[in-house]
A = this chain, B = another copy of it.
Amino acid sequence: MIAGPIEPIHQLQRRRILAPVLELAILGLLKERPMHGYDLRKRLREEFRLLANLSFGSVYPALGRLESMGAVQAISASVVGVAAARAIPLTGSLSGERAAYRASQSSERRAVRGTRARKVFEITTHGNELFEQMLEDSSDRSEDIRAFSLRLVFARHLSPEARLRLFERRRAHLLDDLDHSRRAIAGNTRPLDPYERSLVEHTSAAAENDISWLDRLIEAERSAKPVAVHADPRRDR
């Protein structure tokens, strides 16, 4: 009500340096090969379910931010027309196997259509450093499945030690969840109706399952044969 003018504001919001999921995902995809915004959005929607209804209004500004940070750079701005588009070395930096795969599967195989001044971005050296930082960043406020899943998708870019830290962090978080669920079930908090009860019991079982999955990932990583990671042995049903 009284609202004395705040005015000091000496620091004006620290630049949230390592931003959320989207930037990380974009950098991760650009590590694979240079891409333009439209294509990025498509792959983000299709491959990462988390970003299932991502809009252009998010992608282009995010690319703009990354560009102004010097994390990505346009390698073919304002180039118009089919011939020019074909000239872009789209598979330039790919290693043999992946390049061959992309060439056979991607939209580049069929004729390039609707080419209105594509702006193809590539990741810079600084971008690679930033990506590594973001991937290892532990201070993720919403330490949720989304953030973890995305990091797991890019886990191959981490050192084995950093991977272990990632897994352990996630495991600790899940243990915390589990503890919370169990306290709710034990009734130390509040009586639950049947739906709430079913939910916490299911949540708790799911957390246990996730934890043992992580235990397998951790074990595989420790055995220094991180290639043989495999998921859940088929359960009942």
**Interface residues, chain A, with chain B CB atoms under 8 Å away:** 46-47, 49, 53, 101, 105, 141-142, 149, 152-153, 155-156, 177, 180, 189-191, 193-203, 205-206, 208-210, 212-213, 217, 226-232, 234-237
A211 to chain B, nearest CB (A): 10
Tell me the smallest distance from the CB of A58 to a CB of chain B, in Å: 13
Known contacts A209-B206, A235-B205, A237-B212: does B193 contact A156 (CB below 8 Å)? yes
Establish whether residues A141 and B202, one from each chain, have CB atoms under 8 Å apart when the complex forms.
Answer: no
In the bound complex, CA of A121 to CA of B152 (Å): 44
Contact B191 A101 (CB under 8 A): yes
The listed residue (B199, B234, B236) touching A153 by CB distance below 8 A is B199
Contacts of A47 in B (CB 8 A): 189-190
Contact status B231-A155, CB under 8 Å: no
Interface pair B49/A180, CB less than 8 Å apart: yes
Residues from chain B with a CB closer than 8 A to the CB of A193 are 155-156
Closest to A97 in B: B191
Q: Is the CB of B237 within 8 A of A198?
A: no
CB A232 to nearest CB in B, in angstroms, measures 4
- Nearest residue, chain B, Cβ from A211: B237
Instruction: Give the CA-CA distance A49 to B206 in the complex, in Å.
Output: 15
A49 to B105: give the CA distance in the assembly, Å.
Answer: 42
Query: Shortest 9 CB-CB distances between A and B: which pairs?
Result: A201-B231, A155-B195, A205-B232, A194-B229, A202-B231, A198-B231, A198-B229, A156-B193, A152-B199
